[in-house]
Amino acid sequence: MAAPAAMIPYFGQQMSSKNDLVPDWTRQEVSTGTTIMAVEYDGGVVIGADSRTTTGAYIANRVTDKLTPIHDRIFCCRSGSAADTQAIADVVTYHLNVHSGVIELDEPPLVETAANLFRASCYRYREELTAGILVAGWGGVSFKKILNPVAVGGSGSTYIYGFMDSNYKPGLNKDQCLELTAAALSLAMERDGSSGGVVRLATISEEGVERRVILGNQLPKFSSH
């Protein structure tokens, strides 16, 4: 994956702009504009994302699944360039399988391990990549406390910081977390042009992973106009 991007001159963009028949957005990189979030509760974590992927002003995929499984009980929420995040997620999935599959361990891999693998890839290629990733999961007994009980990310996250600050309280149970996530994502999707579609939720706990989808017409409504 070590592409010497720094040495490659930016001539590609200029050549293609001469052709008027091919519109601009076909040459834009595919990006997951996105709103993603993760909320921890006692016994697991709830993660959620919108489902819109854009190339410029065109929605390339309106039912994207941005909650990517890395391992049985570890997920990552992807935001940024679709190609970059898909590639990193594939690499980390492979490494984690080698780590816990080939090198036999008694217990499943820790979420910290997955997060560190992501961090290694993202930092090493930070000049070439555009990626914002939330790593969440249920990772067995760990010696380090989880850093943040709540995390939001993506372009739509800026619209819901206020909502999260006022509505999150420690000690929520699973259903309250799901409601909070769905409400926050709906608000962000309402205001952010790059977020939209359906809301995808996943609950990760010791019992396993439970996924659900909230369609557009079933989203919680806030504004009267």
Partner 1 sequence: MATLAVTRPPFGGFSFENCKRNAVIEGEVNKVGCSLPAARKTGTTICGVIFKDGVVLGADTRATEGMVVADKNCSKIHYISPNIYCCGAGTAADTEMTTQIISSNLELHSLSTGRLPRVATANRMLKQMLFRYQGYIGAALVLGGVDCNGPHLYSIYPHGSTDKLPYVTMGSGSLAAMAVFEDRYKPDMEEEDAKRLVRDAIAAGIFNDLGSGSNIDLCVITKSKVDYIRPHDEVNKKGIRMHHVTSQHTACLDIVIINVIWSHHHAIT
CB of 148 to partner 1, least distance (A): 28
Specify whether 34 is catalytic. yes
Q: For partner 1, which residue of 6, 9, 106, 144 counts as binding (CB under 8 A)?
A: 9
CB nearer to partner 1: give 90 or 175.
90
- If phi > 0 it is left, if psi is from -120 to 50 it is alpha, else beta; for residue 154 that is left
Closest CA to 139 of 99, 94, 179: 99
6 binds partner 1 (CB under 8 A): no
What is residue 78's three-state secondary structure? strand
87 binds partner 1 (CB under 8 A): yes
Taking a C-beta distance cutoff of 8 angstroms, is the pair 46, 184 a contact? no
C-beta neighbour count of 42 within 10 angstroms: 11
Taking a C-beta distance cutoff of 8 angstroms, is the pair 74, 113 a contact? no
CB nearer to partner 1: give 58 or 222.
58
22 binds partner 1 (CB under 8 A): yes
216 binds partner 1 (CB under 8 A): no
The one catalytic residue among 26, 32, 34, 64: 34
Q: For partner 1, which residue of 42, 43, 58, 162 counts as binding (CB under 8 A)?
A: 58
Alpha carbon separation from 96 to 11, 69, 108, 209 (Å, rounded):
37, 11, 10, 18
Considering only residues 131 to 160 of the shown chain, the ones binding partner 1 according to CB under 8 A are none
123 binds partner 1 (CB under 8 A): no
Q: For partner 1, which residue of 6, 8, 103, 105 counts as binding (CB under 8 A)?
A: 8
Closest CA to 89 of 102, 73, 75, 99: 75
Name the segment binding partner 1 (CB under 8 A); options: 26-34, 105-113, 141-149, 204-212: 26-34
CB nearer to partner 1: give 23 or 208.
23
| 34 class by beta-carbon count within 10 Å (0-12 exposed, 13-18 middle, 19+ buried) | buried
Enter the DSSP assignment of 194: T
Q: For partner 1, which residue of 1, 98, 213, 215 counts as binding (CB under 8 A)?
A: 1
C-beta neighbour count of 58 within 10 angstroms: 13
By the criterion CB under 8 A, which residues form the site for partner 1? 1, 3, 5, 7-9, 11-12, 15-16, 18-23, 26, 29-30, 53, 55, 58, 60-61, 63-64, 81-84, 86-87, 90, 128
Catalytic residue numbers, as ranges: 34
